[in-house]
Each structure stands twice: as C-alpha cells, then as structure tokens.
C-alpha cells in the first residue's frame, strides 16, 4: 500500500509539474509564442493565453495543485511514518514537497505570464 501511495504521489507530481511546461515549450517551439520580453515590446495587451478556457485547465490548475499538494504529501508521509515507525517516510515526504514546490516555482517563473 505504501509503495503504491508513493508511486501515485510521484506520478501526479510529474504530470502536474511537466504538463504546463511541455505545453509552453511546445508553443514556443512550434506555434511561434513569443517570449515575455518580445510580447511586451510588440505592445501585447494582457497575456497571450489570458482569454482561453484551456489555459485554466492545463496551465493554472496544475500550478494551484502543485502549490497546495505538499500539504497532502506531508500528511500522507507523517501518517506512514507513524504507522510504520520508520523515519524514511518523513524524509521521502520532505523530498517530495521540495520537488513539488520546485515545479511550482519553475512554472510560476516560466509560464505564469501567459495567463496572468
């Protein structure tokens, strides 16, 4: 059960962390999405994806979930550590929280300007 729980948390973290970044970099590479500096220089009003519905689902929602998911990860790792009486679950939970916040920070600094 514990291994399955950790694998699910890891999988969800990787999906939530990578999906918005993959969409952004694919749009920059194939669909000619300008950089933030170019967008502002060319007189772009607002953000390029600000009026789209899909951006809320695929960009903003994963960012919000990554910001709040360390709370759930911490609760699960504390519960596993207490039940199993092994501190390794606390360490694993701490590492997963750092990874989740790292993905959230990366997304916020790279992708957020497109939906602000």
Average predicted confidence (pLDDT) for the chain: 84
Q: Choose among 65, 91, 80, 87: nearest CA to 13.
A: 65
* Residue 27, both tokens: 């749009």
pLDDT digits (tens, 9 = 90+) for 62-101: 888 888 889 998 998 999 889 888 888 889 889 989 999 9
**C-alpha–C-alpha distance, residues 29 and 61, integer Å:** 23
**Given pLDDT bands bounded at 50, 70 and 90, which one contains residue 37?**
confident
Q: Phi and psi (nearest 5°) for 39?
A: -60, -45
Q: List all residues 6 or more positions away from 42 whose beta carbon is below 8 Å from its beta carbon.
A: 34
**Given pLDDT bands bounded at 50, 70 and 90, which one contains residue 2?**
low
* Residue 109, both tokens: 């600094």
pLDDT digits (tens, 9 = 90+) for 38-71: 877 877 666 777 677 777 788 888 888 888 889 9
Reported pTM: 0.79
Domain boundaries, the chain: 2-114
Q: Contact 47/113 with Cβ under 8 angstroms?
A: yes
């Amino acid at each position: 059960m514990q291994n399955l729980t950790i694998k699910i948390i890891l999988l969800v973290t990787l999906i939530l962390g990578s999906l918005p970044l993959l969409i952004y970099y694919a749009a920059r590479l194939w669909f000619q999405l300008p950089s933030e500096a170019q967008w502002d220089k060319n007189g772009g009003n607002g953000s390029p994806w600000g009026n789209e519905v899909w951006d809320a689902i695929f960009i903003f929602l994963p960012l919000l979930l990554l910001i709040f998911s360390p709370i759930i990860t911490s609760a699960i790792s504390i519960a596993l550590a207490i039940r199993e009486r092994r501190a390794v679950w606390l360490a694993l939970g701490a590492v997963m929280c750092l990874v989740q916040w790292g993905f959230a920070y990366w997304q916020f600094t790279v992708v957020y300007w497109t939906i602000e």
